[in-house]
């Protein structure tokens, strides 16, 4: 279990304003991730010190910075945050699953060409279905996988579910395409991946425990997120909050702790500026119904 945040819109934001300045910022969540009003503590980690990562888009395309240090004491992260602005940002602080390797390759977000992906959750019994997942992948996707996590395997499945003509040209090109991948294609690939993993777990008779899939996927112009637990509602999915407004309004909420975040959200949002987070960076203004994909 981890914590993550997404910003996507028509207006850029300084990374410092998104990741450092809010009272309950993602950096704060790396050592004290407990602010999730309306959600239970189950599946929400308070300590997320097994590395971090930031992904963003510039005129030169997608970029990621990942480290195995704790986010709260990484001086390079603070230097980058004070200098980089982007209209689309994914950031993640990691709480590694038991037995998982701590390495940069296993830190989120993951990048495939111009696509970025991050995950809060885990696949229960992943070793029992890992071979089946990897055997399903096309050669180009299989060769791209560098790490050992269930999260990267989830992203690989999503890539495998996307039409190759939509992503093959992007593999070695991190620039955002002038023609974005349709939101419906990203959504369907994500939903198909969740369905595939659920079926693989059933076939492997993995009945103990639970699996959770709070995904975030973007091509720099469209963001698709999910909130899901295979044992819901008995076991809740990790918390997820969202807000959408013009950039000035969202910055005011972030920097002044104005009300504005809502809880919990899911799915594909096609809006001018959006903020999605595992823990609410600022105070809550109302609770909306829980919906899982």
Cite the active site residues: 2
Instruction: Give Cα 271 distance to the centre of its chain.
Output: 18
Which of 94, 91, 18 minimizes the C-alpha distance to 50? Answer: 94
> Who contacts 148 (Cβ-Cβ below 8 Å, separation ≥6)?
100, 101, 103, 105, 106
Which of 221, 209, 217 minimizes the C-alpha distance to 193? Answer: 217
d(CA 186, CA 188): 6
Counting DSSP H helices and E strands in the chain, the numbers are: 9, 11
> Who contacts 71 (Cβ-Cβ below 8 Å, separation ≥6)?
26, 27, 30, 48, 49, 52, 77, 93
d(CA 4, CA 231): 22
Backbone angles phi, psi at 120, to 5 degrees: -115, 115
Instruction: Give Cα 38 distance to the centre of its chain.
Output: 20
């Amino acid at each position: 279990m981890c914590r993550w945040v997404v910003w996507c819109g028509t207006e850029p934001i300084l990374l410092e304003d998104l990741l450092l300045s809010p009272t309950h910022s993602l950096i704060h969540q790396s050592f004290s991730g407990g602010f999730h009003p309306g959600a239970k503590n189950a599946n929400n980690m308070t300590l997320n010190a097994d590395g971090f990562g930031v992904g963003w888009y510039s005129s030169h395309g997608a970029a990621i910075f990942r480290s195995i240090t704790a986010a709260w004491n990484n001086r390079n992260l603070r230097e980058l945050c004070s200098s980089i602005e982007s209209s689309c940002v994914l950031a993640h602080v990691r709480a590694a699953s038991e037995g998982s390797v701590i390495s940069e390759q296993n830190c989120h977000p993951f990048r495939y060409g111009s696509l970025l992906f991050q995950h809060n959750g885990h696949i229960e019994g992943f070793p029992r279905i890992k071979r089946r997942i990897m055997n399903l992948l096309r050669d180009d996707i299989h060769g791209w996988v560098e790490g050992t996590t269930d999260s990267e395997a989830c992203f690989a499945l999503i890539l495998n579910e996307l039409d190759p003509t939509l992503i093959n040209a992007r593999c070695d090109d991190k620039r955002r395409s002038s023609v974005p991948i349709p939101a419906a294609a990203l959504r369907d690939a994500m939903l198909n991946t969740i369905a595939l993993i659920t079926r693989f777990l059933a076939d492997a008779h993995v009945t103990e425990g639970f699996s959770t899939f709070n995904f975030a996927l973007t091509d720099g112009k469209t963001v698709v997120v999910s909130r899901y637990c295979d044992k819901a509602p008995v076991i809740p999915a990790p918390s997820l909050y969202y807000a959408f407004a013009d950039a000035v309004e969202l910055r005011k909420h972030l920097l002044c702790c104005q009300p504005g975040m809502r809880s919990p959200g899911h799915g594909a949002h096609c809006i001018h500026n959006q903020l999605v987070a595992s823990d609410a960076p600022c105070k809550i203004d109302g609770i909306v119904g829980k919906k899982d994909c």
